[in-house]
Amino acid sequence: MMAAVFATMLLSVAIGWFGHRILALACFGICLALSLGLFLYEVYSPDYGFRMPWLQVERHGTPPANTPMGEIAS
């Protein structure tokens, strides 16, 4: 997938070099869309996703409705 991102970026630069500005901007837009898709895939993929253990959140249950926040046992 990264090869497709770089290929469209190279194609955009090459087309822009030869003077076709609108087509170069379209290719660059496709490059940005591909890179955004790749980023979201890598972040949200359960197999290849980023591991951030400091952001892991677990639910331990809900406190009673009338318990003040300072008295909730951890």
DSSP 8-67: HHHHHHHHHHTT-HHHHHHHHHHHHHHHHHHHHHHHH-TTTSPP-GGG------PPPTT-
Q: What is the residue type of 23?
A: L
pTM passes above 0.95: no
- Residue range 55-73, pLDDT digits in tens: 665 666 666 666 666 555 5
Please give the residue that has the higher pLDDT: either 65 or 6: 6
* Spatial separation of the C-alpha atoms in residues 26 and 49, rounded to whole Å: 29
2, 34 Cβ separation under 8 angstroms? no
Q: Where residue 40 falls among pLDDT bands split at 50, 70, 90?
A: confident
Q: 2 in helix, strand or coil?
A: helix
